[in-house]
Amino acid sequence: MPHLLHIDSSIQGDNSVSRGLTARAATAWRSANPAGTTRYRDLGRHPLPHLDADSGLARMVSPDQRTQAQQASWELTVELVNEIKAADTVLLGLPLYNYGAPSAVKSWVDHLIAPGLAIDPETNEGLLGGREFIVIATRGGGYGPGAPREGWDHASVWLPHGLSLTGLEPRFIEAELTLAKSNPAMAGLIPMAEESLRAAEAQVDALWDHVAVLS
């Protein structure tokens, strides 16, 4: 039975463009997979604990040497890795905050870098590959070729590298200039923002068209 893992990370609530697009994508996935199941995790409202001095070494010491805090951190990592292993498709909303990924997404990635669970400790082969990984990346400004801040989007560049050890390979759908309607200084960019959003919505709607046709 097909299974979707849907993850949001925006802190913007109903005003979030990434949440709107991931919700649209999840609806499209369910339409194409009517017998499928879904698990939802909201990193924006319920962030994961960051790795710290008490818990962070849990993935680097043997089970018999773990402290109570390290064991709790390890058990959370097991839960997160198992969520991915159970999924045929992983859907992640990735807004750009201060030119980087939300810290909650960084924590999620840090938990996944786990030898023995997500990485073969002998071969270093990633154990989470072979599944669809759709990333909805949204940016308040413009960071494409020729833009004044071209190259300042460090979230979309970092994520494939951050997860490379696990075997997960993201496919990106992107919407830019999402702040145009709320920032008076960007009013002249509203048509470009609307076009970017329409293009992202069209890509989302087409994601699983082939599945619907085959079924």
Q: DSSP string covering 77-114, please? A: HHHHHHHHHT-SEEEEEEE-BTTB--HHHHHHHHHH--
In degrees, rounded to 5, the angle at the alpha carbon of residue 154 between the alpha carbons of residues 151 and 160 is 115
DSSP letter (8 states) at residue 13: G
Q: Is the pLDDT of residue 214 over 50?
A: no
Residue 210 is predicted with a pLDDT of 73
Residue 213 is predicted with a pLDDT of 44
DSSP letter (8 states) at residue 50: P
- The pLDDT of 142-154, averaged and rounded, is 93
Instruction: Tell me the pLDDT of the chain averaged across its residues.
Output: 96
- The pLDDT of 145-161, averaged and rounded, is 95
Q: How far apart are CA 101 and CA 154, in angstroms?
A: 7
Residue 24: burial class (beta carbons within 10 Å; 0-12, 13-18, 19+): middle
DSSP letter (8 states) at residue 42: E
Q: Is the pLDDT of residue 165 over 90?
A: yes
Task: Provide φ and ψ at 11, rounded to 5°.
Answer: -100, 10
Residue 96 is predicted with a pLDDT of 98
Q: Is the pLDDT of residue 52 over 60?
A: yes
pLDDT tens string 63-75: 999 999 999 999 9
Residue 167 is predicted with a pLDDT of 98
- The pLDDT of 145-160, averaged and rounded, is 95
Q: How far apart are CA 9 and CA 42, in angstroms?
A: 6
pTM above 0.85, yes or no: yes
Domain boundaries, the chain: 3-214
Query: SS3 string of 149-198?
Result: CCCCCHHHHHHHHHCHHHCCCCEEEEECCCCCCCCHHHHHHHHHHHHHHH
End-to-end C-alpha distance for the chain, whole angstroms: 13
Residue 211 is predicted with a pLDDT of 64
Q: How far apart are CA 143 and CA 80, in angstroms?
A: 31
DSSP letter (8 states) at residue 16: -
Q: At the topology level of CATH, where does 3-214 sit?
A: Rossmann fold (3.40.50)
Q: How far apart are CA 94 and CA 10, in angstroms?
A: 7
Least reliable range by pLDDT among 20-29, 105-114, 141-150: 141-150
Q: Is the pLDDT of residue 215 over 60?
A: no
Q: How far apart are CA 131 and CA 104, in angstroms?
A: 22
State the number of CA atoms in the 13 A half-sphere of 208 facing the CB.
Answer: 22
Q: pLDDT class for 209, splitting at 50, 70, 90?
A: confident
Q: Are 70 and 57 in contact (CB under 8 A)?
A: yes
- The pLDDT of 132-138, averaged and rounded, is 98
